Amino acid sequence: MPDSPTHIWPSHVWLVARVYDPDEGGVQTYAREVGRAYAAQERRVTIFAKSSAGPRRVQEGGVMLVDVGAAAMLTVYWRLFRAMLRAWIVGDRPDLIHACTWRAALPALFFRRPLVVTVHGREVGRPRGLAFLLLRLTLGRAHRVVAVSDVTRNLLLDRLPHLDARAVTAWNGVVMPDQRAPTPFAQGQGSPQLLTVCRLVARKNIPAAVRAVIPGARRDEGLRHVIVGRGVDSVRVREVIREADLSDRIIMAGYVSEAELALHHARSDIFLHPQIALEDGAEIEGFGLSIADAMARGMVCIVGQDGGPAELVRDGVTGFIVDGRSVDAIRGTVELLVRDPALCRRIGDRARAWAQANLSWDRHVRLCLEEAGDALPTTALPQAA
């Protein structure tokens, strides 16, 4: 990051999220990792959120989690506001409030503090009517709007062009794992293993991914494609697998623990995520945390050309970008990699190096704060190690 003469340096940040661990999802991961990144920069962090494990208060290092518990949407908003108000009244006031989504920012609007709001993609493209008015109101109040990809930023500015000066792109980070041992396939032995990790919804395009894998799975009894995740599109995915009669080779694993997911990552060679845009581009994959994680582990990623994931991959160098609407295009890339273990390993190594150099949660939160407005006193921001 280029040096700047002054940056804001809040000592206490309120992070607001409508969802949190142990519930699954990208926003949950975002809230957890952003909170940890702020704390690693020696800030005090209070996270206001809801999860199925609440109500609870948990202190972990420099992060205090105030979990208001699961409830109906309006009840959650009220509980978040009430928890924030209690902290405010007793004097535990922040220097800055960071909302993990624009909807999570709604209860924060009542507190006179600089506001940073993150937007992830579809939640800025889809709102209509009253929801759009609330979106406009909330982001108009923000000192900085952080888009997790250029695709997301462009979608935002198509709808709210007056936010141009306040909107910045800051890719999400990854927690870099240790270098994994080469798989048997990467060493020229055995069959390749494919992995998909995502919420099973239409834009992820997993039925097309399965159709692309079917011919190879029929030819090679050792090939496996494991699909980790659950969602409304699981019925369609199961039907494609059932019609092909390949449930022993194309496996729907559903929700798995972190330990099980780590094993799937360690065993897999190719990560398949041929996402598409729907609803005239309003329904998009804004970033793709599971893709970033796979790259960080040295896997070859095949991603769709629509949405944020295509920003992470340099086609043919650190992964492959395909037309997700073409099963033939997906299949052709899968079969190219299946035939060439050395290519898989070479591109996987490049992907890992790129992720390590470019995807940092520390960098992400620094971009969230840079030039967030004049509402805070500016002091020197310590440089990243």
| Domain co-membership, 165 together with 293 | no
| Domain co-membership, 135 together with 229 | no
| Domain co-membership, 12 together with 117 | yes
In a domain, 1, yes or no: no
User: Of all residues in the chain, what percent carry a pLDDT higher than 90?
Assistant: 89
| Domain co-membership, 350 together with 374 | no
| Domain co-membership, 35 together with 166 | yes
Looking at the structure of the chain, the number of domains it has is 2
Residue 157 has pLDDT above 60, yes or no: yes
| Domain co-membership, 248 together with 159 | no
| Domain co-membership, 161 together with 221 | no
Q: Give the lowest-confidence range in 153-157, 166-170, 332-336, 378-382.
A: 378-382
Cα–Cα distance for residue pair 301/304, rounded to 1 Å = 10
Which pLDDT score, from 0 to 100, does residue 8 have? Answer: 54
Q: What is the CATH number of the domain that holds 298?
A: 3.40.50.2000
Count of other CB atoms within 10 angstroms of residue 368: 23
Which residues are registered as beta bridge partners of 325? none
| Domain co-membership, 348 together with 230 | yes
Cα–Cα distance for residue pair 358/370, rounded to 1 Å = 18
* pLDDT, tens only, 63-118: 999 999 999 999 999 999 999 999 999 999 999 999 999 999 999 999 999 999 99
pLDDT band at 279 (very low <50, low <70, confident <90, very high): very high
Provide the domain limits for residue 336. Answer: 185-358
Rounded mean pLDDT, 16-27: 91
In a domain, 29, yes or no: yes
Positive or negative torsion for Cα 144, 150, 155, 159 = positive
In a domain, 179, yes or no: no
Cα–Cα distance for residue pair 252/207, rounded to 1 Å = 12
| Domain co-membership, 346 together with 371 | no
| Domain co-membership, 154 together with 15 | yes
In a domain, 385, yes or no: no
| Domain co-membership, 276 together with 129 | no
Which pLDDT score, from 0 to 100, does residue 370 have? Answer: 81
* pLDDT, tens only, 206-223: 999 999 999 999 999 999
In a domain, 373, yes or no: yes
In a domain, 159, yes or no: yes
| Domain co-membership, 142 together with 235 | no
CB 32 within 8 A of CB 16: no
Which pLDDT score, from 0 to 100, does residue 248 have? Answer: 95
How buried is 313 (Cβ within 10 angstroms: 0-12 exposed, 13-18 middle, 19+ buried)? buried
CB 101 within 8 A of CB 17: yes
Rg (alpha carbons) of the chain, rounded to whole number: 21
Cα–Cα distance for residue pair 51/18, rounded to 1 Å = 8
